[in-house]
Amino acid sequence: MRGKVYFTRLAAQPNYRTGPLPPMLFHEGVTFNLQTVVQQFSQLLIKPYYEIRSEDGMVYARHTSNRTFEDVMKGIYGDESPLSYLQAVICFYELNKYSPSFKEKWSYIRILDDAFVKYLRVLGAWPFEDFIRSLNPIFFYDSLQHPVIIIYTIQGNSELTITKHIHRFDYDSYCLKEYSRAIARRCSYDRSWERLS
């Protein structure tokens, strides 16, 4: 791992105000232009001649000349800074919220960092034991020079879970592969942390 950069959870939020976001309607035949979702991020742009759309439960990028559907991240590029890769991860989840097949309950306010965990501990609302590792979002290059972003989120329905999300980008684009796994679980908990985030 080289080029490590640690972030706070605040860096993992959209940082531009744009026009209104499209509604999340999952009706057949309804098409939405999702460019305003991408425009919320200062380090990301939509590639020339590409459109980012949601249609019939599918989120995709479409080149205007050949009209083929592609991975949504193929239509996005950035300045290749560590922050741009973190924003690409958040943008990936924000775009996929427009697909009914996206099962994960996602919100960037669920991202953890060490300062937020410390804050919850001070208030007595942190339901887990102490963590030895840092929970800050991190960027680095792997051994094959692919950019990697790792974030930790807290999810809770019937049980509270801390999930580690690993995102490995293609060498020459913002297309990514995501892997996630639970690293901590707690079956009964006080829901006060949800109000604090």
Per-residue pLDDT tens for 166-188? 999 998 899 999 999 988 887 65
C-alpha to C-alpha distance for 110 and 165, rounded to whole angstroms: 12
C-alpha to C-alpha distance for 46 and 51, rounded to whole angstroms: 8
C-alpha to C-alpha distance for 29 and 46, rounded to whole angstroms: 24
C-alpha to C-alpha distance for 10 and 41, rounded to whole angstroms: 13
Beta strand segments in 16-90, E = 31-33, 44-46, 50-55, 58-63, 69-70, 76-78
DSSP alpha helix (H) spans, the chain: 35-38, 82-96, 114-123, 192-196
Domain ranges of the chain: 2-196
**pLDDT over 90 for what percent of the chain?**
43
CA atoms within 13 A on the CB side of 186: 13
Per-residue pLDDT of the chain (197 residues; tens, 9 = 90+): 688 999 999 999 988 887 788 777 666 777 888 889 999 999 999 999 999 988 877 888 988 887 778 889 999 999 999 999 999 999 999 998 888 777 667 788 889 999 999 998 888 888 888 777 889 999 999 999 999 999 999 887 667 888 999 999 998 899 999 999 988 887 655 555 555 55
pLDDT of residue 74: 92
* Beta carbons of 47 and 58 less than 8 angstroms apart: no
**Structure tokens belonging to residue 85:** 């890769």
